[in-house]
Amino acid sequence: MSTLTITTIQTSLHWEDKTANLQMLEQKIQQMQKTEIVILPEMFSTGFSMKPELLAETMEGESVAWMKRIAAQQRIILTGSLIIEEEGKYYNRLIWMLPNGQYGYYDKRHLFAYAGEDEHYTPGHKRLIASVKGWRVNLLVCYDLRFPVWARQATPLTEADAEKNETEYDLMIYVANWPERRNHAWKTLLQARAIENQSYVVGVNRVGKDGNDIYHSGDSMIIDPMGEVIYTKAHDEDIHTVTLQKEKLEEIRHKLPFLEDADNFIIQS
């Protein structure tokens, strides 16, 4: 059965300083052990800033070029979100960068109105489910975690689809800048998403204070399809690598076929 090796980078970020963040993250990536996917926090080049007019880049900009170079040099898939401008609109865009320079992207669907994100950014309307080594990966950003319908495994459209016994995805990744003051919700909801979708779940958060004096405790987590925590770390910067087992995932879904009883629904954006 297939395995998938992932590395999470829980780090402090230099506030609105792209050059410093890219240099810092490159040093961390160059020092890590062999891996297949490296996951960075939300807005990893700037921190969670509401100044896209000053900080946004295009898809031909410095940070995307940096992702392409690092992914190629290290032979990894690199993912995290950036502030991207496109046709006069700003997006909190998660990029899934392959070693060959090809990429997919997901624009954050649920914008954090409590911090005014909806006043500066445009929401996305399509999910991104990537494929690697026979694994399907659902990619999401921070506040999306509070909305279970957007993350829910899709039900089979036809009887033929149901007979294949295939789920929509096997791994869900959330990249975040989630404040410590609400870390109970972060930890609880990550486990809930794993249990209800019978999927591995990875949440990668930052640590330290941002430019608004908001403290982030990290609490990055890797969770198995039963909701058991494989890894978590609070407060400190940390790089962690783990190999996920597809065999364990399939065994759980076979022994406990709860997804077969799920409600049929269609997401309309």
* Residue 158: predicted pLDDT: 53
* Residue 155: predicted pLDDT: 74
* Residue 121: predicted pLDDT: 98
pLDDT above 80: residue 157: no
* Residue 116: predicted pLDDT: 97
Give me the percent of the chain exceeding a pLDDT of 70: 96
Q: Which residues contact 13 (CB under 8 A, 6 or more apart)?
A: 21, 41, 43, 44, 46, 47, 206, 208, 210
SS3 state at 150: helix
Q: What is the mean pLDDT of residues 134-156?
A: 94
Residue type, 131: S
From residue 31, how far is each of 18, 74, 206, 222 by CA, in Å? 20, 11, 19, 21
Within a 10 A sphere around the Cβ of 124, how many other Cβ atoms?
A: 21
Confidence of residue 267 (pLDDT cuts 50, 70, 90): confident
Q: Which residues contact 54 (CB under 8 A, 6 or more apart)?
A: 16
User: CA-to-CA distance for 227 and 187, rounded, in angstroms?
Assistant: 11
* Residue 268: predicted pLDDT: 73
SS3 state at 51: coil
- Domains in the chain with CATH codes: 3-261 (3.60.110.10)
Residue numbers annotated as active site: 42, 108, 142
Over the stretch 65-120, which tens digit does the pLDDT of each residue have? 999 999 999 999 999 999 999 999 999 999 999 999 999 999 999 999 999 999 99
Give me the percent of the chain exceeding a pLDDT of 90: 90
Mean confidence (pLDDT) of the chain: 95
Over the stretch 180-196, which tens digit does the pLDDT of each residue have? 999 999 999 999 999 99
User: CA-to-CA distance for 40 and 87, rounded, in angstroms?
Assistant: 26
